[in-house]
Amino acid sequence: MPELPEVETIRRDLEKDTIGKKIKSVVVSGTRSVRRHENLEDFTSKLESHKIVSVSRKGKYLLIKLDSKDVLVTHFGMSGQLLRIKNNKEPMEKHTHVVITFTQGGQLRFVDPRTFGEMFVTTEEGLTDEVPELAHLGFDPLDGIMSWIAFGRMLQARKTKLKPLLMDQEFVAGIGNMYADEILFAAGLRHDRSSDSLTSQEIRRLYRSMVETLSDAIKHRGSSLADEQYKDIFGDGGEFQSLHKVYDREGEACRRCRSPIVREKLAGRSTFFCAQCQV
């Protein structure tokens, strides 16, 4: 699933490329990708003839605001992609479910093989009603800068294992399985440490690692794994996977101490870590 760095990479590219563009037509093949709408016309009519005025992000959700003050919300699910196509005649990729054509030429295509992702249009006021989880999102580690002392108070209050806490969207928005592992390695902390057991120094390390890891991942345009399910709007993969220290590196040498990377199951998910470097 695309996490914060991948969604933020898409957001920044769309902000440069689509603001001010007017939507000429919208074609939907199948209804699952727009399942919150009663029918296809309810979705397409709210987009056609309107301009894009801004592109923002909340956690892993992409929010495209229109001049009608409606918002096109995109959640990528496990395999969703938004592709910016310059030539409308370019062949459609398999599993293309939504095609947005601009009056100035070119298209946005929503591709989603597993169809867990979705697109829908709502009002700004109705956004949290449509997506209740947005109303309860935790702080954004890129935009919601806080002091390490305040972060430490939040950790102390939760008293739970570090990795599930980092992945709890009501605690911090946008972090999933992959980046939780990378953040914890950078901080030198085990995934099963209790959040209320950290020293002041460890709290500072964890906060710094979270911000720096996510920022570096955005700098390298996100992570594309072997399944290549994440691509940016130009159809290119990210580069940060080559810099992963632990994720998906079971048995390989730790880049810090040369011990083999270990994989364990935690809450049904694979967790990768270095037993020597993380305590």
- Amino acid at residue number 163: K
- DSSP for 202-241 reads HHHHHHHHHHHHHHHHHHTT----TT-----TTS---SGG
Boundary residue ending a domain (73, 101, 135): 135
Name the one residue in this structure whose structure tokens are 């991942």: 217
Q: Are residues 118 and 189 in the same domain?
A: no
The answer to whether 184 and 163 have CB atoms below 8 angstroms apart is: yes
Q: Quick check: is 113 in a domain?
A: yes
Q: Is 157 a member of any domain?
A: yes
CA-CA distance, 198 to 96, in Å (whole number)?
46
Q: How far apart are CA 172 and CA 179, in angstroms?
A: 12
According to the model, what pLDDT value does residue 132 have? 86
Residue 253 sits at φ, ψ, to 5 deg, of: -75, 135
- Which of these three, 108, 135, 162, is where a domain ends? 135
**CATH number, domain with residue 247:** 1.10.8.50
Distance of CA 233 to the CA centre of its chain: 14
DSSP secondary structure string for all residues of 25-71: EEEESSSGGGTTSSSHHHHHTTTTT-BEEEEEEETTEEEEEETTSEE
Of the candidates 130, 126, 176, the residue with the CA atom closest to the CA atom of residue 34: 130
Q: Same structural domain for residues 17 and 130? A: yes
What's the pLDDT score for residue 248? 95
Question: CA of 142: how far to CAs of 166, 204, 211, in Å?
Answer: 14, 16, 7
pLDDT in tens, the chain (279 residues): 899 999 999 999 999 999 999 999 999 998 999 999 999 999 999 999 999 999 999 999 999 999 999 999 999 999 999 999 999 999 999 999 999 999 999 999 999 999 999 999 999 998 988 888 888 999 999 988 899 999 999 999 999 999 999 999 999 999 999 999 999 999 999 999 999 999 999 999 999 999 999 999 999 999 999 877 899 999 999 999 999 999 999 999 999 999 999 999 988 889 999 999 999
Q: What pLDDT, on the 0 to 100 scale, is given for residue 188?
A: 98
* Catalytic positions: 2-3, 60, 269
> How many domains in the chain?
2
Is the domain of 185 the same as that of 264? yes
- Which residues span the domain enclosing 173? 148-273
Distance, CA of 169 to CA of 4 (rounded, Å): 11
Residue 245 within any structural domain of the chain: yes
175 and 84, same structural domain? no
Asked if residues 109 and 93 have their Cβ atoms less than 8 Å apart, the reply is yes
- pLDDT value of residue 195: 97
Q: What's the CATH number where 80 sits?
A: 3.20.190.10
Domain assignment present for residue 142? The answer is no
Q: The tokens of 202 are what?
A: 């460890």
For residue 215, tell me if it sits in a domain. Answer: yes
pLDDT at residue number 265: 93
β-pairing verdict for 52-58 and 118-123 = unpaired
Radius of gyration of the chain (CA): 20
pLDDT of residue 129: 87
Give the model's pLDDT for residue 246.
98
**Is residue 225 in some structural domain?**
yes
Cβ contact 79:114 at 8 Å: yes
Specify if 279 maps to a domain: no
pLDDT of residue 162: 97
Verify that 224 and 113 share a domain, yes or no. no
